[in-house]
Amino acid sequence: MLSERMQAAINTQISRELFSGYLYLSMAAYFEDLGLKGFAHWMRVQHREEENHGLMMFGYLAQAGGRVLLQPVEGPETGFDSPLDAFGKVVEHEQKVTAWINEIVDLALAERDHATASFLQWFVNEQVEEEATARELRDTLRLIGDTGPALLMFDRELAARVYSPPPEVAKWGVI
């Protein structure tokens, strides 16, 4: 059985993952307003991914005998100065998510909750990828600057992103 502290930590993280999805949806709206449909598409895919992360935690908590207690989801930022600013905030946010995941892993290890620590390793590994991708996209935008043709070419590249849920999504009762 999961401790009360662990249940609270996972419930908080569910809310944070849903907030992450909401943040990326807000960024999608920003890019739609700019006419950058590929950027908007990339952010909508990111929204689905983050939403599924929250649902995976929901499924784990329920299957592990814990109680899911949904919390309010904070409203996301809605104003961005530029595509580079938005992706700079993506990097910062993913670093924050990594810290949150690490805190829960630390709690699991301190409580000798090996099942939860094992479950969370997927998220630890996922965050390495999330941060690397965010940095790569931000750095590309730094190189591009405000160059219209290059920005449009990058927009087309981002439009090609396809979301393929990992098998872990189905394992925890998400789909």
pLDDT in tens, 46-102: 999 999 999 999 999 999 999 999 999 999 999 999 999 999 999 999 999 999 999
Which tokens sit at 47? 């929204």
Looking at residue 170, what is its pLDDT?
82
Integer Cα distance of 72 and 94 in angstroms: 20
- CATH number for the domain that contains residue 159: 1.20.1260.10
Range of the domain at 49: 4-171
Q: Residues near 62 by Cβ (< 8 Å), separated by ≥ 6?
A: 68, 173
0.85 exceeded by pTM: yes
Q: Are 26 and 44 in contact (CB under 8 A)?
A: no
Residue 138 host element (H or E): helix 114-144
How many Å is the Cα radius of gyration of the chain? 17
- Asked if residue 157 has pLDDT above 70, the reply is yes
pLDDT tops 70 at residue 21: yes
Q: How many domains does the chain have?
A: 1
How confident is the model at residue 175, as a pLDDT? 64
Within 8 A by CB and 6+ apart from 159, the residues are 37, 38, 41, 42
